[in-house]
Amino acid sequence: MSPNTPPIALIFRAASFAAHKHRDQQRKGAEASPYINHPLAVADVLASEGGVEDAVVLCAALLHDTVEDTQTTHAELAAVFGPRIADIVMEVSDDKRLPKEERKRLQIEHSPLLSDPAKLVKLADKICNLRDILHAPPMGWTVERKQAYFDWAKQVVDGFRGINPRLEAVFDAVYAQRPMLGRV
């Protein structure tokens, strides 16, 4: 990435890169929508609902699942987008070699330690995930599993409150719709 690359060009490059990397993936909902819809939604939440205009943060949002869910490496991201974007993506990436419960525990534990750009990406990601669970949940998820995910996401977000009041209000509004036993 050249230091003279216009921010909009960088954002489009990140969107294109993510689309290519996620090209064979689909979301877990009944619609099995193209996976790229998720990183696009995360970037849109940041820009449209959070007022985030920083191209580095928006690029990291578009790329946030590439290391975790594709064969993309930190070195590859750093070569294409620079170390700052690559480092933010690494901050929000789980180590898939660890058991799921350990990854979830580590997200709660590490959320207060994230950089501000990583906190923004993580917050928008959680908003999008909760919305997906409400409107297009993964196949076979029970109310209890949905409720547990909502409560876990809140623990992660509570670890870095104060990063963006607008986005936190959006998160709280979506969280307030959480599935409850006796209510679908």
Q: Which residue numbers are catalytic?
A: 68-69
Q: How many Cβ atoms from other residues are within 10 Å of residue 16's Cβ?
A: 12
Give dist(CA 65, CA 73) in Å, integer.
11
CA distance 88 to 103: 17
| Cα–Cα dist 164/169, whole Å | 9
C-alpha triplet 11, 46, 72: angle, nearest 5°: 50
Tokens found for residue 33: 């929508």
Characterise 127 by phi-psi region: left (phi > 0), alpha (psi -120 to 50), beta (else): alpha
Q: How far is it, in rounded angstroms, from Cα 15 to Cα 43?
A: 10
Query: Token match 């719709």: residue?
Result: 177
Find the distance separating the first CA and the last CA of the chain, reported in whole Å: 47
